[in-house]
Structure 1
C-alpha cells in the first residue's frame, strides 16, 4: 500500500496546529480520566498513529527524532495526550518485530492503535498451537482507544527455565477494569487489563529476550532502519519528547498569566517586573533546554545506530536510559520552578500549571523512567559491572 509520506516539518506543523484544542480538551480528559474521541480523531488526521507503522501498510516509518519533535508539540498542548501517543508508538514498533503474517492481521485496521506494557505480570502455559495466559497488567495507557495490546508473561515450559514472552492480543479478548484514578496523567486512561485462560496462537508469541537484543521475526521489515534496534533504547528515546513538551507547555501557560498577575503583599503590580521572576523564568528555560539536549541525544543515537546497522555497546544502551532520567529530572525541576512562582491562584482546577506539575511528578515515578534507577544503571555500567536488569 503506497502512501505519500509528509516531511517532518509538515507533521510537526499539523500537531502544532492542534495545541489550542488540546489545551481546551485537557480539562475534560482530566475529569473523565481518558482522552476524548475528538482528540483521538485529531491525532489520526494529523498522521500521529502512522509514524511507527510500516510503509507497506500505509505508514511513515518515521525516525526517532521526528517522534521527539512531534511529541514535544503535543505535550505543549496536553501532557496526557502526548503520553498516550508515545505509548502507542512503542508497542506499534514492537508489533513490527512479529512475523509478517501477524502484521497483516494487526495492521489491517487503518490507524491501528496498540497499547502495552513491559511488565511480566502474567503467567503463560504452553499448549497445542500456542500458549494460554492468565494474569493482570496495570498502567495500560490508551487502552480505551486501542485495538490491540502487547502483553508480557512468564512462560513456564515443561522442561527448562521460565522466561518472559511478548505476545499480541486483540483488546476485545481481554477483560478491562477502569481503575485509573490518580493524582497525575489522569487523562491517559491507564487502566488495568486481565487475561483469563486466554489462548494466544504461537505466531503471535515471541521470546522477550530476543526482542530486547534487537532480533526480529519480520522479513519485510528487515531492511528498514527503524526496526533494527534493541527494544529498550527505542522505548526510552520514544518517550522523551512528551516530557520536554510538558516543560514547554508549562512555560507557555506561565507567561500567558504573567502580565495580569501581581505579587501579593509587595509593591509589584505586575509579576513580570520583579527581578525574582526574571531569574525563575531564565532558570526554568535553561533546564528545559538541557532536557531537550538529552532528548535529542537519545533519539539521535537510536537513529544513527539504526542507519549504520552497527552493534550497540552496553554503555550506549545504559546512557540512553540515563538520558531519559536526565530529561525527567530537569523537566521536573523546570516545571517546579514555574509552579512555585505561580502564586496561590494557581491551585484552582482551571489553571493548567498545577495539572502539568502533577503530571510530571507522575512520570517521575514510572519504573523505567525514574532518574535514580536510570542513573544507577548507567553508573554501574561505567564502573565496569554487568547490568543487573534485562531492560537495557
Structure 2
C-alpha cells in the first residue's frame, strides 16, 4: 500500500507545499470573486474600493502573498503572484492595482523595518501600507523627524493602516539619501485630488501631513540594505518585486475584454440598424474570427513571456542566486510587452463592440480608460523597450541602467 500525505497547513491556514499553496491561493480568488465583482461599480463611483472588497482580499490572504508566514502573511512564488494578480485583473484593473500596491507595501514593511518594530506593526493584523515616492519635507529632531507637506499618487490610501512619506536627508558622507517615514492612520489627512480618466477606483490621491513627529524606529530606507534578508523583497530587490506582478493585471484585463466581445459575438450585428439584411453576426464573420484568433494568440504570447521570466526568477531564488541584469531586462521587457499587448487587445475589443461599448458604465469603456491610464506608469510603458534595446546593444550595465 502506498502511503499518502496531506500537505502541512501553516499557521496562516495556507498549505506549506508550494504546489498546494498555489492551488489554494487561486481558489481563494475564485471564492471571493462574486464579492469583488459586486463592488466594482460602486468603487468606480466612490473613487476608491468599497471596504467589502478590501476586507474580502485581506481575509482571503491575498494581501499577504509578499509577507513571510511568521508575520501573518502567505508568501508565494513569483509565478503564483503573477497568476493571483492576473485573476483579480480579470475582475477589475483598479482592484488588481490596489491589491498589488497594498500587498507590496506590507512586504516592504516586513523587509525594511527592524524585526522588533515589524513584530509590533504586524501584531494586530496584516498592515496595509500606501506609499508616495514624491519627496516631501522632514526635519531632523531628537529621536526622529518632524514631517510636513503634501504627497501625491498614493494608491490604496483609503484602505491603508499606514502611509509612507518619502523625503531626503543628509548622509554622513555629505550626500543626500532617500528615506520613508511610516505614519499611522489618524496622523495624516487624505485629500480629494483624484479626478482622472481611468483607474478611478485606485483612489490614488494625495495626503497632507502637518508637523507630525515620526520616531527613528518608524523611519526606513526603501532602497537600502534590508533589515531582514529572508523576505521576497529582500531576495528580489524593489524593481523585480514590482515587475513580477504588474504584467498580470493588464493581461487579466485584456482577457476580460476578449471575453466580453466573445460573449457579444453570436448576437452582435454591426451596421444592422442601417442595413438590416446585410449584416452577419460577429461570430459568423470571417474577418472577426480572424482578428479574434490573432488577439487571443497575442495575449497568450505576452503571458508566456511574463511567466517564463517569472519562472526563471523563482528558480534563481530557489537556488540562492541573485537577479542578474539579463533577468531584470527580461522581466521589464515582458512588462512592457504585456502593457502594449493589453492596450491593443482592449482597444480592438472596444472597437468591435461598436456603440454598445461607449456607455460610461460598460465594461469595455472602463477597460479602455483604465489601460490608457495604466500605461502612463513607466513600469508597463514602452520605455521598457528602450531599456531592452540598450541591453541588446551591449550599452547597459548594472550601474548605468535607468530606473523606471
1:69-218 aligned within 5 A: 69-97=83-111, 98-117=113-132, 119-157=133-171, 160-210=174-224, 215-218=225-228
Report the equivalent of 2:7: none
1:208/1:17 CA distance change after superposition, 3 Å: closer
Note the residue ranges of structure 2 that are not aligned, 5 or more in a row: 1-9, 16-20
Report the equivalent of 1:354: 365
1:153-302 aligned within 5 A: 153-157=167-171, 160-210=174-224, 215-218=225-228, 222-224=229-231, 227-264=234-271, 265=274, 267-302=278-313
1:15/1:331 CA distance change after superposition, 3 Å: same
CA displacement at 1:329 relative to structure 2: 0.8
Could you tell me the TM-score, scaled by structure 1's length? 0.90
Report the equivalent of 2:403: 391
SS of 1:259's equivalent in the other structure is coil
CA displacement at 1:134 relative to structure 2: 2.9
Q: CA offsets per residue over residues 34-63 of structure 1, 9 Å max, x none?
A: 111221222123221221222112221112
Mapped pair 1:338 → 2:338: no
SS of 1:96's equivalent in the other structure is helix
Report the equivalent of 2:68: 54
SS of 1:136's equivalent in the other structure is strand
Between the aligned partners of 1:17 and 1:377, the Cα distance in structure 2 is 39
Report the equivalent of 1:379: 389
Q: What CA RMSD, in Å, does the superposition of the two structures yield over aligned residues?
A: 2.2
Alignment size in residue pairs: 383
CA displacement at 1:224 relative to structure 2: 4.9
Mapped pair 1:367 → 2:378: yes
1:204/1:309 CA distance change after superposition, 3 Å: farther
SS of 1:173's equivalent in the other structure is coil
Q: CA offsets per residue over residues 207-227 of structure 1, 9 Å max, x none?
A: 3432xxxx3112xxx345664
Preserved CA contact (<8 Å) 1:121 1:152: yes
Between the aligned partners of 1:120 and 1:226, the Cα distance in structure 2 is 21
CA displacement at 1:107 relative to structure 2: 1.0
- Segment drifting more, 197-206 vs 241-250: 197-206
Preserved CA contact (<8 Å) 1:280 1:341: no
Moved over 4 A (4+): 386-390
SS of 2:151's equivalent in the other structure is strand
CA displacement at 1:390 relative to structure 2: 6.1
Q: CA offsets per residue over residues 217-257 of structure 1, 9 Å max, x none?
A: 12xxx345664221111112122211111011111222222
Could you tell me the TM-score, scaled by structure 2's length? 0.88
Larger Rg: 2
